[in-house]
Amino acid sequence: MSLPKAVEAGNAFSIQSTGSGRATLYIVGPEQVLKRDIRLGETTFFPSGSLYNAGRYLAVLTGDSSTESGSFDVIPAHKPVNLSFLARPSRLPVGLHDGITGAVYVFDAYHNLITVPTQVSFELSNPYGAVQKRVALTQDGAAWTAMDSTAQQGVDKFAARIGDVLSARVVIQVAGDPCGLKMSATKSGQALQLVTDPVRDCNGNAVPDGTIVTFTEAYSGGQSTVDVPLKRGIAEVQMAGHNGATISVASGVVLGNQIRWEK
Amino acid sequence: MLKTSLILCALFALASSIGSAQATVRVEPANLQGPRPLPDQTGEAAIRDYVQSWQSLSAAFAQNRTDLLDPAFVGTAKDKLAQTIQQQVTLGICTRYQDRSHDLQIIFYSPDGLSLELTDKVEYDVELLDHSRVKTTQHLSSRYVIVLTPAEVQWRVRVFQSAFE
C-alpha cells in the first residue's frame, strides 16, 4: 500500500495497493473515518472533500489473507478563513498602557487550526482617526497583542486581520478618574451653595453623569457628608455652612480643593 | 443496524485486547507566549483535565456514544469527534484509543485567561473493529495541539488536533 505523506484538508488524494483480489480499506482517526471496498492492485481515488479534518490517520487494508497498515497526515488548508478573536475588556478608561488585549486563533475553512506561522495585523481605531497598529506572528495557531487605550473617550474598533479575513470587536473607552476637581461656594440664604466646575479627567474628557462626588463639611463638634451624582457634568449641593467650617470635595480616590467658610 | 453496532462496540469495550494501563505523563516547563503569568494550580488543573479527556474519548469511540464526550469536550472539538462517532456507527465499525504516554507543554495562556493552549507528543494504540471482528491494533505517535477553555469547574477541550511535524 502506498500512502501519501500528507494531504491538505479537503484535497483529493489516492492510495495505491498491490496484489490481487478484493479487500477493504479503512482510514481511521478521531477526526474522521472512511471505509472503501477496493480491488487490490488498483489505485483508489478519494475525491475533494473526502478528508477535511486535520489529523493523523491510520490506513488499514484488509484482504482475505493479509492486513497492511500505515499512517499519514491531513494538514490544515493553506488559506485562513476564520479568526477566533477574543478582545478584552469591552469597556475601559482612557489612557491605560496595554489596557486592551486581543488573542486570535486562526482556522481554515474546515475549522482546522492553522499551525504554520501566519502574520496577523491588529488595529485599534477611534472615531477621531487615531489608529494603533501591531503585527504578530502566530505560534501553533495563536497570536496576541496589547494596545493602549487612547486619550479620547468613544467607541473604538479593535480588529484582527489576515489578508481579507477580518474579525472586529467594539471597545468602549470612557473618561478616567476626575482630575483637578474644583468647587466654589456661595451663600444661599442661611445655607451654603456648593458647586463644582465641570468635572473632567486628566485628558479633558467629561466624566460621565452619575459619577458620585462627595462633599464634606467639618466643623467644630461635627462633620456632615453628602454624596451627589454628577448631573450635566457638575455636582451641586446645599450644606449648612457652619462658621469656621472646612469644606472639601472628592470623587473616588481623587481629592479636590478645600474651602474654609467664615460667616 | 445502529443498535447492533452500539451493542457490539460496547461488548468490545469490555473485552478489548489492548490493555488499559494508565498513561505516563511528562510535563515540560511552560514555554508561554503572552503577557499573563500562569499560576501553577491553573496549569496543573488544565493538564489534569486534558489527560482525563483521553479517557472520555476512548470510551466514546469504543462504545460509539457521543454523550460520553460531553464532560471533556466542547465546541469544534466535540462537534468533530461526535461526527466521527456517527460515521463509525454508519460504517459498522468502532475504534479504541489507548493513550500510552503524554509529553506535554503549555505554550499559550491568553491575556484574558479564557483559553490555554498546549502541545502533546502522545503515544497511543488504536484498535479497529468491524462488526465485532478486530482488524488491527497499531501503535501511533503524534504531536497534538490542544486549546482548552474554562467551564464551570474544569477545563474543556475546544480544539483537539494532531499537527503535522
CB contact under 8 A, A30 and B107: no
**Least CA distance to A86: which residue of chain B?**
B112
Q: Is the pLDDT of residue B71 over 70?
A: yes
Q: Determine the distance in angstroms separating the CA of A107 from the nearest CA of chain B, rounded to an integer.
A: 10
Q: Which of A32, A69, A140 sits opposite B145 (nearest CB)?
A: A140
Q: What is the DSSP letter of B13?
A: H
Which B residues 60-119 touch A at CB under 8 Å?
Answer: 61, 76, 80-81, 83-84, 87-88, 91, 93, 95, 97, 107-108, 110-112, 114-115, 117, 119
CATH topology (fold) of A183-261? Immunoglobulin-like (2.60.40)
Q: Is the pLDDT of residue B12 over 60?
A: no
Averaged pLDDT of chain A: 93
- Under 8 Å CB-to-CB from A228, ≥6 apart: which residues? A212, A213, A214, A215, A235, A236, A237
B153 in any annotated domain: yes
B39 in any annotated domain: yes
B43 in any annotated domain: yes
CB contact under 8 A, A67 and B130: no
CB contact under 8 A, B117 and A140: yes
Q: Does A111 touch chain B (CB under 8 A)?
A: yes
C-alpha cell at A80: 485562513
Angle of helix B75-91 versus helix B40-63 axis, rounded to 10: 20
Q: Is the pLDDT of residue B80 over 50?
A: yes
pTM: 0.84
Averaged pLDDT of chain B: 89
Q: How far is CA A20 from CA A35, A44, B163, in A?
A: 19, 14, 35
CATH code, B136: 3.10.450.240
- Rounded to two decimals, the ipTM of the complex is 0.89
Give pLDDT < 70 ranges for chain A: none
pLDDT, position B16? 52
Q: Does A40 touch chain B (CB under 8 A)?
A: no
Residues of chain A with CATH 2.60.40.1930: 82-174
| Per-residue pLDDT reduced to its tens digit, A100-137 | 999 999 999 999 999 999 999 999 998 888 899 999 99
Show the 3-state SS of B143-161: EEEEEEEECCCCEEEEEEE
B107 CB neighbours in chain A (<8 A) are: 139-140, 142
Residues of chain A with CATH 2.60.40.10: 6-75
| Per-residue pLDDT reduced to its tens digit, B82-134 | 999 999 999 999 999 999 999 999 999 999 899 999 999 999 999 999 988 99
For B159, counting Cβ atoms within 10 Å of its Cβ (0-12 exposed, 13-18 middle, 19+ buried), the class is buried
pLDDT, position B2? 46
Q: How many domains does chain B have?
A: 1
Q: How far is CA A68 from CA A13, A24, A40, A59, in A?
A: 19, 11, 12, 8
Distance CA A118, CA A106 (A): 8
B18 in any annotated domain: no
B99 in any annotated domain: yes
Q: Please give the residue range of the domain that contains residue B85.
A: 2-13+24-163
Which amino acid, A128?
Y
Distance CA B161, CA A115 (A): 10
Query: Which CATH architecture is the domain A6-75 placed in?
Result: Sandwich (2.60)
pLDDT, position B31? 86
Distance CA A89, CA A96 (A): 12
Q: Which of B83, B107, B140 sits opposite A140 (nearest CB)?
A: B107
CB contact under 8 A, B138 and A35: no
Q: Is the pLDDT of residue B1 over 50?
A: no
- Under 8 Å CB-to-CB from B126, ≥6 apart: which residues? A28, A58, B95, B96, B97, B137, B138, B140
pLDDT, position B19? 62
Distance CA A176, CA B63 (A): 57
Distance CA A78, CA B28 (A): 30
Task: Give mean pLDDT, residues B22-46.
Answer: 91
pLDDT, position B14? 46
Query: Which CATH architecture is the domain A82-174 placed in?
Result: Sandwich (2.60)
Q: Does B11 touch chain A (CB under 8 A)?
A: no
CB contact under 8 A, B107 and A28: no
B155 in any annotated domain: yes
